[in-house]
Amino acid sequence: MLPFRQFVLKVHSRCDLACDHCYVYEHADQSWVGRPMVISPEAVGKAGERIAEHARDNGLSGVRVILHGGEPLLAGLPRLAEIARGLRRAIEPFCDLDLRVHTNGVRLSAELCELFLAERVKVGISLDGDQAANDLHRRYAHGGSSYAQVLRAVGLLRQPRYREIYAGLLATIDVRSDPAAVYRALAALDPPNLDFLLPHGTWDRPPPDAGLPGLTRYADWLGVVFDEWMADSQRVPVRIFESIIETSFGGASLTESLGLEPSDVVVIETDGSIEQADSIKVAYDGAPATGLDIFRHPLSAASAHPGIKARQRGIAGLNATCRRCPVVTSCGGGLYAHRFRTGSGFDNPSVYCADLEKIITHVRVRLQSGAAGQADQAEGPDQASAQRRWNDLPDAQLDELAAGYGGADAISCLNAAERTLRRKLLRLVHERVSLGNEMAAAGWDLLRRLEHTAPAAVDEVIAHPYVRAWAERCLRAASAATPDGAPQANVAHLASIAVAAAVRADVSAEIEVPVIDGYLHLPTLGRLRAGDIASATLAVDGTGAFEVRATSGKWHVRPGTTEQDPDWEPVRELRARDWVVRLEDTDPYRDCHAWLVTARLTAAEAAAWQAQFQQAWGLIEDSYPQYASGIAAGLSVLLPLANDDPGREISAAAREAFGAVAAALPPTGADLALLIIHEFQHVKLGALMDMFDLYDRAERRLFFAPWRDDPRPLVGLLQGTYAHIGVTDYWRLRRHQVTGQAASDAAGQFACWRLMTAEAIGTLAESGALTPLGTRFVEGMRVTVQPWCDEPVPAGADEAARRWAAERRETWERRQGR
């Protein structure tokens, strides 16, 4: 069972507005009538105790408590102060408390803002748009408008003194309002977050026009807002759109109304009753009830309630129609309450099913086609810029990378995008794979704590290339049709990742970590030979040292010192001038490069790598400065590959291991320099393709790659062509750095590679399968390579290259039966 991390605490059960779309007073459940108007001090104290108990028992590093109603501000300033202080006293000894209040805003005052500022309470406000939209529903009982009072409240929160407690705005949609005007009015208030809610309803009592065949007025309304938002450069975070985008690219939803993430919300009413999410009140009278209360039951008892468990099953908890839907990973079946129908309960698609499918498709199509409502008319660089997914990269740096290069600033953008991606993958592993694995759960909580106290150390560890390789392996295993899913030792590696960050941060921590194939692994640091056991306890003492205790022994390790326990095998470093990379021969997830990796290197083998690395980096920095700064900014790991044929050059990069180049140690430092330049081209392009769509992913044709005997898919041709810009450039310059036969050989290599690379660029450009951004990118490649084709080379080298290229083309066409 999953722990709760969000707690809605009802502090006042009445409201000073009479909004006719309110789920508390205007829908099926009327339990508010019999509840106390204001929560008692005893109930607040018990709620704090229960939340603290739940956090302690589940090892949570943080929880969120939302003060709610009715209208919570009706409780008054003195009572709200007691509540906030009481909750902090009860909860914060055990975990961090994110305390919030959600209000209609009409009673918000400077005095209340001072209280919330002092007690670190963030304030969210309900506001449906401009006055015309807001007055459709948010009125007083006598019919008067609340708009002026709410606008005054938002004005208070926008003042510099109170800006830090401004949490955002929540708007309920009415399709009669002007969507563009609503968005502009809300965005003008500069909210830190903005969310749009579909009005609550069910199949028994649908909102106006929802669930009717052929009508998708809510999707159409949201589509206009999305286009306005895109045209506004996504200046204001809009949770529903960000959730669709995140889930469309494998991330997690930011709202319970979308996505497949398990629900972690529970409600505590003014009488201490423990209930399911408030929105279920729209289904039937008594729908959110669990029969539990905080005076008699721990919060964990609610985790076993069938209604709560049903919202934690992901795609398995959806009906057959939803499971087959192409947008299910973003929709997630919609809000649980909106699925209700008498007779079949919640085992239905959302009453907004058609609307959700349409708006999700609208967002995805706009992102893929260069949206903002003008993809069909836009041309050239502007359209290409719109082709991006969700990450950003300045145009100048994108063009720099397209040319085949990319300095430190451009690579730093790729690093940032990859960090974002890895955080999403870690969260997905935690939420979708690690259920029931105590080591993984403890690792996640430690990692979240370190994010607040030592973010640089977390960044350093999750930037390790094989953290992503591990996460993707876990997710693939979990999605495979096997009874066991991801092996538990794999999932528990999350604890090793977290404790490695704690060691780097000099933060005290104690945690159980897995032992894999006899070793306890700490990414970026090394491994400890621990014997044939499943796990060990690792305690970090806060000074960079740690102790390992297991049934097989006890070890004390201080990474970075010269005298170490013989069972500790640190990750070695390669140094050249002022640059350092890790020589990775310990990580258990490094075998993702399609070649066999070496075992732990001997001291002599590591010394050979150091000698060649010094030569290679000196050559790159002195003779290939157009690549050096980018490589130094993005390459963090060299991975030794095994090689049973000393005359064969082996190197590789892996899309899931950004920052790593794998290679068998070649004969010379110059050869290693070429391998690094070549493979780092793949590293850069892989990261770019994580950020942008450069080609039509539905393309299934195979293409001729001049350097390959087998036909290649478009993505393979693009990767190879981009990498060979670096290879061509290496030989173009190398021929002037050497003499005699070496210069002649280098000229021959240059003549061959420029022909092959130029031909492949032409194939890509004529494929018809590139996106507008991809077309721009390939054009940047062409601009770099075309002048090289005119550079003079010895006649013999040019003739041999053309003859060789023609023979390869003829052979390939014969094989294709042409």
Return the closest-CA partner of residue 498 out of 485, 487, 512: 512
Q: 795-815 and 740-765 helices cross at what angle (nearest 10)?
A: 40
> Is the separation of the CB atoms in 404 and 725 below 8 Å?
yes
424's CB contacts (< 8 A; 6+ apart) are 246, 250, 251, 252
Chain length of the chain: 818
In this structure, which amino acid lies at residue 523?
Answer: P
Compute the distance between CA of residue 405 and CA of residue 784 in angstroms, rounded to an integer: 10
On the CB side of 102, CA atoms within 13 Å amount to 16
Residue 125 has phi, psi (to 5 degrees) of -125, 140
User: Among the residues of 26-130, which ranges form H helices?
Assistant: 41-57, 77-91, 110-118
Beta carbons within 8 Å of 118's beta carbon, 6+ residues apart: none
In whole angstroms, give the CA distance from residue 679 to residue 344.
56
Residue whose token pair is 């300045």: 394
Q: What is the DSSP letter of 27?
A: S
For residues 162 and 157, what is the distance between their CA atoms, to the nearest angstrom? 5
**C-beta separation of 447 from 498 below 8 A:** yes
Q: What is the pLDDT of residues 724-755, one digit of tens each?
A: 999 999 999 999 999 999 999 999 999 999 99
d(CA 523, CA 514): 13
Segments making up each domain of the chain, as ranges: 1-103+263-312, 434-569, 571-691, 695-818
Closest CA to 58 of 444, 360, 339: 444
- Report which of 470, 81, 47 is spatially closest to residue 272, judged by C-alpha positions: 47
Q: What are phi and psi of 174, to 5 degrees?
A: -130, 120
Mapped onto helix, strand or coil, the DSSP state of residue 576 is strand
Residue-level pLDDT at 430: 85
- Per-position b or e across 714-747, b if 16+ CB within 10 A of its CB: bbebbbbbbbbbbbbbbbbebbeeeeeeeebebb
DSSP 8-class letter at 200: P
Rounded to the nearest 5 degrees, what angle is found at the Cα of 732, between the Cα atoms of 728 and 810?
45
Q: Which residues, 6+ apart, have CB-to-CB distance to 380 below 8 Å?
A: 776
Strand order in the sheet with 535-540: 509-514, 535-540, 546-550, 553-557
Q: Which of 236, 216, 217 lies closest to 228 in space, CA to CA?
A: 236
Q: Are 469 and 657 in contact (CB under 8 A)?
A: yes
CA-based R_g, the chain, Å = 30
Residue type (1 letter), 234: Q
Determine the Cα–Cα distance for residues 756 and 789; give it in Å rounded to an integer: 11
| Per-residue pLDDT at 487 | 56
Q: Give CA angle at 723 (720, 727), nearest 5°.
A: 120
pTM: 0.58
| DSSP reduced 3-state for 457 | helix
The DSSP annotation for 73-90 comes to GGG-HHHHHHHHHHHHHH
Measured torsion, CA atoms of residues 781, 787, 789, 794, in degrees rounded to the nearest 10: -140
State the Cα–Cα distance between residues 164 and 608, nearest whole angstrom: 55
- β-pair type (660-663, 712-713): unpaired
pLDDT of 370 reads 43
Q: What is the pLDDT of residue 368?
A: 57
CA distance 725 to 764: 14
Q: How does strand 96-103 pair with strand 121-126?
A: parallel
DSSP readout, 348-388? S--TTHHHHHHHHHHHHHHHHHT-TT-TTT--HHHHHHHTB
Question: Which residues, at least 6 apart from 745, have a Cβ–Cβ distance to it below 8 Å?
Answer: none
Q: How far is CA 81 from the centre of its chain?
A: 37
CA 544/CA 503 separation, integer angstroms? 5
Could you tell me the two tokens for 550? 């297991």
Residue 566 tokens read as 């013989």
State the CB neighbour count (10 A cutoff) for residue 805.
17
CA-closest candidate to residue 6, choices 81, 71, 95: 95
User: Which residue in 235, 268, 234, 230 sits closest to 66, CA to CA?
Assistant: 268
Return d(Cα 209, Cα 217) in angstroms, integer. 7
Other C-beta atoms lying within 10 Å of the C-beta of residue 119: 16
Q: What is the predicted pLDDT for the residue at 374?
A: 32
Cβ distance 158 to 190 under 8 Å? yes
Phi/psi for 712 (5° steps) reads: -120, 145
d(CA 81, CA 78): 5
Strand partners, 574: 581
Question: Which helix (H) or strand (E) covers residue 504, if one does?
Answer: helix 488-505
Q: Could you tell me the CA-to-CA distances from 578 to 370, 584, 616 in Å, in that order? A: 42, 19, 14
Task: Provide CB contacts within 8 A for 403, sequence distance 6+.
Answer: 780, 781, 783, 784
Distances (CA, A) of 721 to 466, 732, 785, 810: 26, 16, 11, 20
Q: Which residues contact 228 (CB under 8 A, 6 or more apart)?
A: 179, 180, 183, 184
| 124 burial type by CB count under 10 A (0-12 exposed, 13-18 middle, 19+ buried) | buried
Q: Is 18 helix (H, G, I), strand (E, B) or coil?
A: coil
CA distance 794 to 808: 22
Residue 15's identity, in one-letter code, is: C
Question: How do beta strands 535-540 and 568-570 pair?
Answer: unpaired
Helix or strand run (H / E) with residue 333: none
Residue 133 sits at φ, ψ, to 5 deg, of: -70, -45
How far is Cα 499 from Cα 559, in angstroms, rounded to an integer? 13
Dihedral sign (CA 359, 361, 363, 365): negative
3-state secondary structure of 667: coil
Question: How many CB atoms neighbour CB 14 within 10 A?
Answer: 15
* Per-residue confidence (pLDDT) for residue 381, from 0 to 100: 28
pLDDT along the chain (818 residues), means of 10: 88 87 70 86 96 92 91 95 96 93 95 96 94 88 90 94 93 93 94 92 88 87 93 86 80 77 88 90 87 94 82 76 83 90 92 93 73 32 34 79 94 89 86 82 91 88 96 78 52 96 94 95 97 95 91 92 87 95 96 93 97 97 96 97 86 95 96 97 94 83 89 93 97 96 96 96 94 91 96 92 88 73
